[in-house]
Amino acid sequence: MFSRKVVAVRIVASIIFCVGVLLASEIKEIQSCNAGNITDCEFVGISYFEGSNGFARDNGKAHLYLEKACMSGKSAYGCSFLGMLYQDGRGVEVDMQTAILFYEKACALKESWACAYIGYLYYEGKDLKQDFQKSFEYSDLSCSLGYADGCLMMGHFFYGTDKSGIPADAKKAKDYFIRACDLGSEMACQRLNIW
């Protein structure tokens, strides 16, 4: 039988070992990013953003690594998460115009979520001029990239109950709702149940 003191010492030693392993991993990925590995810049930035993978949540460091990833022109996730920092004012002033620029960069890199979100912003006319045609284009691109909410939005465009002025087309609406449902949209599945 071990005494409580011995067990406590072993627990503390295990915790110190785990923290050391996490710190070593953190340092390795940071060094790899600094050496030009954009995937590791993205990983480190997102990890700081979320406070995950052994990284403490730190918006300033998240910004640094996400910006490095995004500015490489190869990191859709880096641009998306950088947009979220600006949208939410995490470590920077809230700046929707800058957030939208980063979402547009992410969309250009085929990040389906960013395309759908820009489509939503154009549809609602929040933080940028309402433009149903641009909303339609971004939503369609998002759907073509396999994002359920983009397909759901396209279904709403063709359903004929929105304010966009796009002519109703029940077959197209249903096809988009089916695709959105297949991609996991509960709302689209519910819409199909009333068809």
Domain ranges of the chain: 28-109, 119-195
Would you state the pLDDT for residue 6?
A: 40
Give 119-195's CATH code, choosing from 1.10.8.870, 3.40.50.800, 2.40.50.100, 1.25.40.10. 1.25.40.10
* 64-119 confidence digits (pLDDT tens): 999 999 999 999 999 999 999 999 999 999 998 999 999 999 999 999 999 999 99
- Do domains 28-109 and 119-195 share one topology? The answer is yes
For residue 163, what are the CA distances in angstroms to 130, 135, 153?
A: 11, 12, 12
Determine contact, residues 173/158, Cβ cutoff 8 Å.
Answer: yes
Is residue 8 very low, low, confident or very high in pLDDT (cuts 50, 70, 90)? very low
User: Rounded to an integer, what distance in angstroms lies between the CA atom of residue 162 and that of residue 65?
Assistant: 40
Is the per-residue pLDDT at 165 higher than 70? Answer: yes
| Least confident stretch, 17-26, 102-111, 155-164 | 17-26
Would you state the pLDDT for residue 25?
A: 53
More confident residue, 14 or 45: 45
Give 28-109's CATH code, choosing from 3.40.50.300, 3.40.50.1000, 3.20.20.80, 1.25.40.10. 1.25.40.10
Would you state the pLDDT for residue 18?
A: 42
Would you state the pLDDT for residue 17?
A: 41
DSSP string, the chain: ---HHHHHHHHHHHHHHHHHHHHHHHHHHHHHHHTT-HHHHHHHHHHHHHT-TTPPP-HHHHHHHHHHHHHTT--HHHHHHHHHHHHHTSSS---HHHHHHHHHHHHHTT-HHHHHHHHHHHHHTSSS---HHHHHHHHHHHHHTT-HHHHHHHHHHHHT-SSS-PPP-HHHHHHHHHHHHHTT-HHHHHHHHT-
Is the per-residue pLDDT at 35 higher than 80? Answer: yes
Crossing angle of helices 96-108 and 59-71, in 10° steps, is: 40
Is residue 143 very low, low, confident or very high in pLDDT (cuts 50, 70, 90)? very high
| Least confident stretch, 41-50, 62-71, 78-87, 161-170 | 161-170
In b/e form, how buried is each residue of 120-152, taking b as 16+ CB within 10 angstroms?
A: bbbbeeeeeeebbebbbebbbbbbebebbbbbb
User: Rounded to an integer, what distance in angstroms lies between the CA atom of residue 93 and that of residue 101?
Assistant: 15
User: Rounded to an integer, what distance in angstroms lies between the CA atom of residue 71 and that of residue 46?
Assistant: 15
